Amino acid sequence: MSDTPKTSEKKLKTPSARSLSRLGAVLALYQMDIAGTDLNIIIDEFINARGPSALEVDSQDSMQVDLSTMDKELFKDILHGMVANQKEIDIAVHGRLNADWPMARIDTTLRAILRAGGYEMLKRNDIPPKVIINEYVEMSKAFFDGRETNMINGVLDSIAKDIRAL
């Protein structure tokens, strides 16, 4: 038997600049939805942020997220693109939701994730659908349990199947 204690902790992976830009975009969309913050103000706040910001994961924890290394161009593209195409994105997402849970009724964070992922799926043909789905599903695990994560996977996968080959 070894004297070395076994650890079940996973080695934390440093998120890529593109993953951080997607997370930043979701956080920005959330803030725009909750506080009604103007697009240009929110972009300026996130691009010029200094250091990590607290991200509430659940009622007992929070984690620090440093967005300083995010891909700023992708971040801005997602925000500008979602705002410019919100009606089309909302229609695409809404059409895949349960009739009892329209866009206006779902959680604000979930709505932000679906809108950002919906924008990329509908308007960013240069990014493979599998990458988009994986990025937003993995991100959602920081916020939700399996049900919401499964919903994000199902909605984005359905959009992908309708508009382009996987």
Rounded average pLDDT over 73-86: 97
Q: Which of 55-59, 109-113, 120-124, 125-129 has the lowest mean pLDDT?
A: 55-59
Predicted confidence band at 146 (pLDDT cuts at 50, 70, 90)? confident
Query: Given a cut of 90, is residue 41 above it in pLDDT?
Result: yes
For the chain, the domains span: 17-163
Ramachandran bin of 36, using left for φ above 0, alpha for ψ from -120 to 50, beta for the remaining angles: left
> Buried b / exposed e across 103-142, counting CB within 10 Å, b at 16+?
eeebeebbbbbbbbbbbbbbbbeeeebeebbebbbebbee
Pick the CATH number of 17-163 from 1.10.940.10, 3.40.50.720, 3.30.300.20, 1.20.1560.10: 1.10.940.10
